[in-house]
Amino acid sequence: MFLALYTSCVIICVGLLIYSIVFQIINKRLQVMLCTECRQCMAVCPLLSKGCNPMEIMLGAKIDQLDQVMGQGGALCVSCKKCQKACPRGLAPFEEVEKWKNLNLE
Ligand code: SF4
Ligand code: SF4
């Protein structure tokens, strides 16, 4: 009885985890989940002093606060891709900006 209950709980948890990952992939947000907020991208962004912060862009996308980050300077991103070259995981914060612009500036 206990083993069956335990097994059911494990199966449900694994199922929810897989569903969550697939959902994020479908929504092309896997890179947002992979961001470790290590800040290495911030060091190379030429527009950091103007408020464009690639790590904040990733964080904003992760917690659905991208509108606020864009308003604080994220929208200034020029897709120079320097952040991607500096990222140890090869992530591309500018892609989140481009997606946001496509949704909000058309
Ligand atoms: S360098 Fe990459 S992993 Fe680190 S904060 Fe920037 S996007 Fe995230
Ligand atoms: S692509 Fe955008 S966020 Fe990345 S370094 Fe260039 S201006 Fe900064």
Q: Residue 42 and residue 38: Cα distance in Å, rounded? A: 9
Cα of 98 vs centre of ligand 1, distance in Å, is: 17
Q: What pLDDT is recorded for position 16?
A: 92
Phi, psi for residue 14 in degrees, rounded to 5: -65, -40
Q: What pLDDT is recorded for position 19?
A: 84
Q: What pLDDT is recorded for position 18?
A: 87
CA-based diameter of the chain, in Å? 61
Could you say which residues of the chain have pLDDT below 50? none
Q: What pLDDT is recorded for position 26?
A: 66
**Atom 2 of ligand 2 has which residue's CA nearest to it?**
77
Q: What pLDDT is recorded for position 101?
A: 95
